[in-house]
Amino acid sequence: MTVIQDRYPTKISDWPTDPRAIAHEVANDLSQTEQDRDRIAGIPDDEVPLLKESGLLPLMVPKAHGGAGASWPEAMDIVKILAKADSSTAQLYGYHLLLSVVPHLIGTTEQATHYYRETAQHNIFWANAINTRDRRLKLEPDGNGFRAIGIKTFCTGAVVADRLICAAAQPGNPLPAMVVVPGNRAGLTYNHDWDVLGQRRTASGSFTFENVRVEPAEILGPPPNLESAFPTVLGVGGLLVLSAIFTGIAEGALETTLAYTQTKARPWETATVEKATDDPYALRRYGELWAQLQGAISLTQQATAQFQWAWDKEQALTYAERGEVAIAAAAAKTLSIQVGLAITNQMFDLMGARSVANRYGYDHYWRNLRTLTLHDPLDYKLFDIGNWVVNGTAPVPSSYA
């Protein structure tokens, strides 16, 4: 990929008022090579350097620590912009944004300050080996420190990360330790086992930890207020990142479908119109899909605004308030999945038989969406929402809720 470096700012103070302008330029660059990179799959060794060049990595770092001090609505807009062009890069970036604030959520005040400044000063890209359902990674005492030993699956972007946040089981504690280690630390090995249907450039395969050194200061926590719900909101943010990606994919797919309909599609032989754009069945379906998409986008924006409200409360956030925000995020994710799958499936009905030619590569919208929507079961999101509506019971805080 060719990166035109002077198109991007070199430091935060050079940014325009709205960093979304940069995101549109990055998305344009990504769109030129997305089909080729998707076909090759492999390591995102073009995409992450492009994100670094763009200056967008310190987006959520407070201005006091050298970052952009952006809001979560701004951040999710950027994730959605990237997802329209390249959903693998959007996932890498969205996860980076969440992970870059984890020391703020669960670390000490000193750890939050240190990692925020490091991210801004050194243009750090964050990834993870968290997957709390895979408990094979252990943290064992070793002299005045620890060793991480084991395996973690679904380590999105970790192979190209500067910093990794890892969840490791620890002796005598039912909760995993959350640790930060450099991505190039000795003993870390990527297993190159991400061979899947979609999101093929996220390198979300497994990592082996072979006696990886962990210093005591690299174990996050404790947070300032152990009674606050604030340290538990990472999972809620994750739902919103996924919703932004889903709506971005859906919007990109619908725009691609429309362009094809306007320039290449032909009306069916028994239709009473001369142009595909006048076909009443096509117009009805476009109207239905567009309206559904606007609903998903609006619900995601509303839930993101609620998340910003919770973020601003910080240590004063209660578990009852967190529950309301978690349900809003779950509803946004549910609708964005349903609408996204409808659009990426029905787009071929609207374009016609010739649109499935491999030279177009339109299948990537469905493949990427279908893959990422399996992150956690939709039925359980609907259960959480129903349990809230009927019984007033909020979901138990987790990496998925």
Size (the chain), residues: 401
Query: Domain check: are 33 and 61 in the same one?
Result: yes
What CATH number does residue 253 fall under?
Answer: 1.20.140.10
State the pLDDT at residue 18: 81
Is 401 inside any structural domain?
A: no
State the pLDDT at residue 1: 37
Is 199 inside any structural domain?
A: yes
Query: Domain check: are 243 and 384 in the same one?
Result: yes
pLDDT, one tens digit per residue, over 276-322 is 999 999 999 999 999 999 999 999 999 999 999 999 999 999 999 99
- Once rounded to an integer, what is the mean pLDDT over residues 77-106? 99
Task: Tell me how many domains the chain contains.
Answer: 3
pLDDT, one tens digit per residue, over 270-279 is 989 999 999 9
Q: How far apart are CA 307 and CA 315, in angstroms?
A: 14
Query: Domain check: are 200 and 345 in the same one?
Result: no
With vertex at residue 149, the alpha carbon angle to CA 147 and CA 153, rounded to the nearest 5 degrees, is: 135
Q: How far apart are CA 59 and CA 319, in angstroms?
A: 27
Is 113 inside any structural domain?
A: yes
pLDDT, one tens digit per residue, over 104-144 is 999 999 999 999 999 999 999 999 999 999 999 999 999 99
State the pLDDT at residue 171: 86
State the pLDDT at residue 8: 52
Query: Domain check: are 288 and 383 in the same one?
Result: yes
Domain ends where: 76, 98, 125?
A: 125
Domain ends where: 125, 155, 190?
A: 125
What CATH number does residue 174 fall under?
Answer: 2.40.110.10
Q: Spell out the residues 6+ positions from residue 252 whose beta carbon is closer than 8 angstroms to its own.
A: 83, 84, 85, 365
Query: Domain check: are 258 and 355 in the same one?
Result: yes
- Cis ω before 222 (30° cut-off from 0): yes
Query: Domain check: are 74 and 84 in the same one?
Result: yes
Query: Domain check: are 259 and 214 in the same one?
Result: no
Query: Domain check: are 280 and 359 in the same one?
Result: yes
What domain range is 283 assigned to? 230-391
Count CB neighbours of 358 within 10 A: 9
pLDDT, one tens digit per residue, over 339-370 is 999 999 999 999 999 999 999 999 999 999 99
User: Can you give the pTM of this predicted structure?
Assistant: 0.95
Query: Domain check: are 235 and 361 in the same one?
Result: yes
Phi and psi torsions of 161, nearest 5°:
-85, 150
Is the backbone of residue 296 left (phi > 0), alpha (psi -120 to 50) or beta? alpha
Query: Domain check: are 208 and 108 in the same one?
Result: no
Query: Domain check: are 242 and 293 in the same one?
Result: yes
Domain ends where: 101, 125, 149?
A: 125
Query: Domain check: are 238 and 376 in the same one?
Result: yes
